[in-house]
Chain A
Amino acid sequence: MAATRERKVPALVDKPMDFCPGCGHGIVSRLIMEALEELDQLNNIIFPIGVGCSSNLGAGLECDRLHCCHGRAGAVATGMKRVSPDTLVVSYQGDGDAYNIGIAETFNAAYRNENITVIVINNTNFGMTGGQMSLTTMEGQKTSTSVHGRDCSVTGYPIRFPEIVAREFPGAAYAARGTVTTPANINKLKGYIKNALQAQLNHEGYSIVEVLSPCPINWGLSPVKAMERIEQELIPYYPIGEFKKRGEEQK
């Protein structure tokens, strides 16, 4: 049997988190912890955590964290950062939490250019409650509240929030979208997360990284097919990349 190289688990993770098989949350959580470790910030981090599958983050961490009311992490993060300006404050939320119920807080934290980092896991549905439609559900996508497929003529179209930040909020420091479908994309995503954290450390302003993440259980797909769906259906609508780079002037 060939020797396997064991990967070191970041120090902040103290136990396995209860994500479903094939879920992308675990990968993103690990990337955030690795980035914190590499930036030497393991002792300088507070996570305001959203409600939904993102809540599982709080179950497996050895660090300061607070579970927020559903959707309000943007406001909680604001309160934390205003009184602790030198501590990293990173909100961890799903698309339902950050965009549906929390759009006012998410939008206004960006609008005020709070010096915080927002990580949004976009799996195009409300994962924890059984896969209901969210603001990021694709047109035609079947969910438990859009059983015939999402009809955008009556529900609106899937929201692309990092693009709004990059386009509309001149002060924002950084806005990007990544995904977890391939090792190359994962490495790229880690770079985005690190950039976002560095922007905050340097007091450059608001940073957001959205992650296209698979939800095989609610999508009714195998883990592999779920990754394929991201590549084939989501990325054409939700491009990955940096929409606002650090130090970049407003376009």
Chain B
Amino acid sequence: MREIVFAGSGGQGVLTVGLIISDIAATEGLNVTWVPSYGSAMRGGTANCTVKYCAENYIYNPSQEQPDLLLAMNEPSLHMFLPMVAPGGTVLVGDTVTIPADARQDVTYVHVNCTEIATSLGNPKGANVVMTGAIVKLMGDFSREAAIAAMNHMFEKKGKAKFNESNAKAFDAGYNAVECLSDASCVR
């Protein structure tokens, strides 16, 4: 089973990244859950959601436990969720996040300047999609093609098919910005 926590400030699109990843997993026929923070829990300056997916087993506990990957789009999110990450897990951070010198060393930190990349593509709102591509590559569970197809399908359902091309470009930029860290896919 995989667990990913997506966190950032409201408006950074972290809930959407979670939705895309969970839709990719559902399209692949996996068991999958997506749980957001909601209500007053959103008032602490961060929005977050937790996605779990698994090929074999039912997802017993959909809530946050011990993420294999943390996406932290701002520093408050990093500080809030870093202690929870599984030893050996991955912490993916965006442009504005600095990893403190004394941060735990049993996880792998990956920096992707997603806002800078998205802006250079003329799609400044696509920073979260850049991170989606990066996460798919880091996790190594889904092929690039399957992921893009599922992402496009999700936006089509929302009537946003016109962004498919720019989304695919942003996705690829993120996908190509990182190396896969997983030695075995939970899917294939």
Q: Report A-B touching, CB under 8 Å.
A: no
* A interface residue numbers (CB < 8 A to B): none
